[in-house]
């Protein structure tokens, strides 16, 4: 898993249905309709979020560690081999 900045994490959450509820200082508080969990994303310029906090926030959001990265590899099971 690569690190990402708070800005990148906020964009990832938005793409997955999370909504910015409010901003308190340098933290964006996000929520999702139908879920009581609130996620506080630290936005400190382009500074990377430490890996432990990033994993925790992704887990709270119900996202996988690789959800922010796009894979360029094709699935080998889709190919017919005779």
Question: Per residue in 3-58, pLDDT tens?
Answer: 899 999 999 999 999 999 999 999 999 999 999 999 999 999 899 999 999 999 99
Averaged over 62-79, what is the pLDDT?
A: 54
Distance CA 16, CA 4 (A): 16
Per the CB < 8 A criterion, the answer to whether 38 and 29 are in contact is yes
The CA–CA distances, whole Å, from 76 to 1, 8, 79, 81 equal: 23, 30, 6, 10
CATH number of the 6-61 domain: 3.30.920.30
Write down the pTM of the prediction: 0.75
Higher-scoring residue by pLDDT: 79, 46: 46
């Amino acid at each position: 898993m690569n690190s990402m900045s708070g800005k990148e994490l906020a964009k990832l959450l938005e793409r997955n249905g999370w909504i910015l509820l409010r901003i308190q200082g340098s933290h964006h508080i996000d929520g999702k309709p139908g879920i009581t969990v609130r996620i506080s994303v630290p936005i400190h310029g382009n500074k990377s979020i430490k890996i432990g906090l990033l994993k925790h926030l992704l887990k709270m959001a119900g996202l996988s560690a690789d959800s922010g990265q796009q894979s360029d590899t094709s699935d080998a099971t889709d190919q017919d081999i005779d």
